[in-house]
Amino acid sequence: MPDLVQMAMGIGKIDFEGQKLVEKVYQIALAVLTLLSFVVGFALQDLRLTVGLFGGGVLVLFIALLPPWPKFNEHPVTWLPVKRKLEPKKQK
Amino acid sequence: MVLMVAVALSSLLLSADPKGKLNIVNLTTRTGGTRGRPRAKIDQIRVNFNSTADLRPLFNWNTKQLFVWVQAEYISAKGTQNQIVLWDDIIQRKEDALLNLRARNEYVIHDLSFKFAGASPLNFTLKYNVMPYVGLLTYGEAATTTKPIPFPKPLEK
């Protein structure tokens, strides 16, 4: 069972630098998208346009940011080398 | 969510206050039963009216539909204020909001005491309710009759 968990944790993994990048991108993208959707819809007086534009934009963001693209794995964590377990020393 | 709040607030900028005309063509009384109570003796009025009002300015991107109705107001013999809806309609398209009505009351109009004797003259108003996609419901008055109309005398005793 733990193997399954380990395997599941491996899917979609991105490194920490990647996570930072994703966060910055979606924060800016959503703010811009909200503003854009409102302005375009308001100017053309079409609420469907606003909602559609926003929804479409969100889908694009999903495709760009949810999968573990190689871009988000360019700075993998460098783990320390594995230490071999020492034999337990007998006390007496 | 910020987007929805912005849309709701935009309605405040886009609000309008259209006015129109409401005329009562005919007002008669009868005393008799209703569909639910065929043998009762209930005072009722029958109103024919026409009205013109251009409510199209109320339609903006955030307007889902308009609820429009005509109501009659009077003070009963007991001194209570009464408002009765005669007629109503739901308008879902801007084109349909250019009102040019010739109609009569859709509903039976009677007093809670079943008698109109001693009641004050009637005033009629055309009112509307704007239902947005996102935001608060708003109400307005589009037209009203200028002179109060007294209840007609019963035709025979």
**Cβ separation of A50 and B60 shorter than 8 Å?**
no
Residue B156 within any structural domain of the chain: no
B111, HSE (Cβ side, Cα atoms, 13 Å): 24
CA–CA dist A23, A66 (Å, integer): 11
> Which parts of chain A sit beneath pLDDT 50?
none
The pLDDT of residue B156: 36
Quote the pLDDT of residue A56.
Answer: 96
d(CA B119, CA B27): 15
Q: Could you list the residue range(s) of the whole structural domain that residue A23 is in?
A: 12-72
A47:B7 CB<8 A = yes
Name the band, by pLDDT with cuts 50, 70 and 90, for residue B155: very low
Whether residue A20 lies inside any domain: the answer is yes
Q: Look at residue A87 and tell me if it is in a domain.
A: no
Residue among B64, B66, B61 at smallest CA distance from B6:
B61
Residue-level pLDDT at A90: 62
Nearest CA in chain A to B133: A47
Strand B98-104 relative to strand B42-54, pairing? antiparallel
Residue among A34, A42, A54 whose CB faces B61 most closely: A42
Give the pLDDT of residue A89.
Answer: 67
Domain assignment present for B20? yes
Classify residue B157: in a domain, yes or no. Answer: no
pTM, two decimals, is 0.80
Closest CA relative to residue B55, chosen from B105, B101, B6, B107:
B101
Q: Is residue B84 part of a domain?
A: yes
Q: Which amino acid is at A1?
A: M
Task: Give the pLDDT score at A73.
Answer: 85
Shortest CA distance from B60: residue in chain A: A45
Q: Residue B157's pLDDT band (boundaries 50, 70, 90)?
A: very low
pLDDT tens for residues B6-58? 988 888 888 889 999 999 888 888 888 888 888 999 999 999 999 999 999 99
- Residue type at B43 in one-letter notation: D
If one counts the domains in chain B, the total is: 1
Task: Identify the domain containing residue B21 by its residue range.
Answer: 2-151
**CA nearest B136: which of B1, B3, B54, B15?**
B15
Residue B152: predicted pLDDT: 82
pLDDT for B146 beyond 90: no
Indicate the helix (H) or strand (E) that contains A11. none
- As for how many domains chain A has, the answer is 1
Determine phi and psi for B19, rounding to 5 degrees: -125, 155
For residue B1, give the chain A residue with the closest CA.
Answer: A34
What pLDDT shows up at residue B154?
Answer: 62
Express each pLDDT in B84-111 by its tens digit: 999 999 999 999 999 999 999 999 999 9
Q: How far is CA B44 from the centre of its chain?
A: 17
Contact A54 B6 (CB under 8 A): no
pLDDT of residue A92: 56
The verdict on residue A28 lying in a domain is yes
ipTM passes above 0.85: no
